[in-house]
C-alpha cells in the first residue's frame, strides 16, 4: 500500500478502515492485526489501536482474547431488526409528510427527488454500490426525512445503521441491483406524485426489505460471511 496516499491522523485512518469494512474490501471474518495495519498505513500502533477500539465499539471488529481481531461477521438477524427499525422511522416520516406538508412543500420535495433520480441514472450500469451513488441514495432518503424535520432520528441511529450500509454493499453487488434500486426510488416518487399514502408506505417498505429474497442464496454462496 502506498503510504503517501493515506493521512496519518487517527480519525482518517479509522475512517478509511471503516470504509474498507463497509465496502467488503476487508471481508467478514477476516483476521487483521495492529501490526499489519500500522505497516499498511505507515503509522504507529497506537493510532491503529485507537481506530480498532472505535470500530470494535461500533461492532465492526470483534476481538477474541488470545486469538486476535477479526472483521465482524454479518448478523442477518440483527440486520433484519435494524431494517424493521429503519422502516418504522421512514413510515412515520411518510405519515407526518402527508399530515403536515402543504401542496407547495410537497411539490418542492418531489422536484428535489426528481432531480436526485436524474442524477442516479448515471450509475444504472454500475456493478457495485458506487460511492457516488451511495451519496445520492442517502440524499434521496434525507430529502424525505428532512422534509418533516426528522433527520435527527437517523443521526441517533447512525452507528447501528453502519451495519445496514455494509449489508447494502453486499446486497447490491450480489445481485447487481443498481437498476432495481433506481426503480424502487422511482416507485416511491411516483406514489408521492399520485398523493397515494398507502402506496408510498408500501413502496418504501419494499425498498427497505432487502434480506428475504437473497438470504438463502447469499448464505449458500458465502457461508463464511454470516451468522444468524
For the domain that residue 223 is a member of, what is the CATH number? 1.20.120
Three-state SS sequence of the chain: CCHHHCCCCHHHHHHHHHHHHHCCCCCCCCEECHHHHHHHHCCCHHHHHHHHHHHHHCCCEEEECCCEEEECCEEHHHHHHHHHHHHHHHHHHHHHHHHHCCHHHHHHHHHHHHHHHHHHHHHCCCCCCCHHHHHHHHHHHHHHHHCCCCHHHHHHCHHHHHHHHHHHHHHHHHHCCHHHHHHHHHHHHHHHHCCCHHHHHHHHHHHHCCCCCCHHHHHHHCHHHEEC
193 and 103 in a common domain:
yes
Domain that holds residue 9: 3-72
What are the pLDDT digits (tens) for 58-101? 999 999 988 999 999 999 999 999 999 999 999 999 999 999 99
Identify the CA nearest to 78 among candidates 175, 174, 211: 211
81 and 65 in a common domain:
no
207 and 123 in a common domain:
yes
Q: With bands split at pLDDT 50, 70 and 90, how would you rate the model's confidence at 6?
A: low
Identify the CA nearest to 134 among candidates 183, 188, 142, 83: 142
84 and 51 in a common domain:
no
Whole-model pTM? 0.89
107 and 209 in a common domain:
yes
40 and 150 in a common domain:
no
Identify any residues that bridge with 226 across adjacent strands, giving them in sequence order. 74
pLDDT attached to residue 7: 56
Question: Does pLDDT of 15 surpass 50?
Answer: yes
pLDDT attached to residue 127: 87
Q: With bands split at pLDDT 50, 70 and 90, how would you rate the model's confidence at 3?
A: very low
What are the pLDDT digits (tens) for 142-185? 999 999 999 999 999 999 999 999 999 999 999 999 999 999 99
The Cα 138–Cα 182 span in angstroms is 13
- Which of the listed residues 42, 72, 102 is the one where a domain comes to its end? 72
What are the pLDDT digits (tens) for 112-128? 999 999 999 999 999 88
pLDDT attached to residue 197: 97
Identify the CA nearest to 18 among candidates 63, 72, 91, 64: 72
51 and 115 in a common domain:
no
107 and 67 in a common domain:
no
213 and 124 in a common domain:
yes
122 and 217 in a common domain:
yes
Q: How many domains does the chain have?
A: 2
- Which of the listed residues 24, 47, 72 is the one where a domain comes to its end? 72
Amino acid at each position: 500500500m502506498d503510504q503517501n496516499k493515506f493521512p496519518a491522523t487517527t480519525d482518517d485512518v479509522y475512517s478509511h478502515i471503516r470504509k474498507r469494512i463497509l465496502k467488503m474490501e476487508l471481508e467478514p471474518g477476516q483476521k487483521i492485526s495492529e501490526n499489519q495495519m500500522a505497516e499498511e498505513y505507515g503509522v504507529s500502533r497506537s493510532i491503529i489501536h485507537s481506530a480498532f477500539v472505535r470500530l470494535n465499539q461500533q461492532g465492526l471488529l470483534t476481538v477474541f482474547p488470545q486469538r486476535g481481531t477479526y472483521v465482524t461477521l454479518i448478523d442477518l438477524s440483527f440486520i433484519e431488526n435494524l431494517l424493521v427499525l429503519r422502516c418504522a422511522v421512514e413510515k412515520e416520516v411518510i405519515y407526518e409528510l402527508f399530515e403536515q406538508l402543504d401542496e407547495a412543500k410537497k411539490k418542492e420535495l418531489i422536484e428535489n427527488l426528481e432531480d436526485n433520480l436524474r442524477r442516479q441514472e448515471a450509475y444504472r450500469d454500475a456493478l457495485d454500490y458506487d460511492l457516488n451513488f451511495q451519496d445520492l441514495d442517502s440524499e434521496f432518503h434525507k430529502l424525505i426525512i428532512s422534509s418533516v424535520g426528522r433527520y435527527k432520528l437517523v443521526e441517533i441511529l447512525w452507528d447501528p445503521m453502519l451495519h445496514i450500509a455494509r449489508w447494502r454493499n453486499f446486497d447490491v453487488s450480489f445481485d447487481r441491483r443498481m437498476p432495481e434500486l433506481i426503480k424502487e426510488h422511482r416507485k416511491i416518487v411516483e406514489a408521492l406524485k399520485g398523493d397515494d399514502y398507502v402506496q408510498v408506505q408500501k413502496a418504501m417498505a419494499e425498498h427497505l426489505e432487502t434480506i428475504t429474497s437473497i438470504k438463502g442464496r447469499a448464505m449458500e454462496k458465502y457461508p463464511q460471511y454470516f451468522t444468524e
